[in-house]
Amino acid sequence: MNRKDMVWVYTGKKPIKKISEWNKASLIKQVEAEIAKTTKVKKAISRISYKSGRIYLYYLFEPQKVEGVVFTVPLIDGKYIEYPYARITIYDTAYSDCSLDWQRHNKQWMTLEEGSLEECIQKAELSEWFE
């Protein structure tokens, strides 16, 4: 394939940006209720946050302490580091058009699946990307 043959594809989808505080709280409760129905995701997730049209799911990781190693990030409770587990991008206010994203080692996000909010959480439960 020639470089001239490559083109960028723009889907036109943008995450919803403006959402009221009440809707944010309602959305977080809905996500928590869907996560409660799962087993693997429920055990892994330690915190849920919402930022500009995206729901971030975080997990805690306990690194092995080696003598002489200094961590560049502050440790939670002196022994945990928090990492993003997954991200759900919301494209409409009915939460029926969402994408499930996974963060690569280079901090870039990669879309794995698309569907409703409930489908994205269920796909995270069944996906091999989230172990």
pLDDT at 49: 92
Domains contained in the chain, number? 1
Residue 28, CB half-sphere, CA atoms under 13 Å: how many? Answer: 14
Host domain of residue 73: 16-126
Q: Using CA of residue 83, residue 35, residue 37, residue 93, what is the dihedral sign?
A: negative
pLDDT at 7: 54
pLDDT at 74: 63
When pLDDT is cut at 50, 70 and 90, the band that residue 93 belongs to is: confident
Render pLDDT for 58-78 as a digit per residue (tens, 0 to 9). 988 877 776 766 666 666 666
Render pLDDT for 7-40 as a digit per residue (tens, 0 to 9). 555 566 788 888 888 988 999 999 999 999 999 9
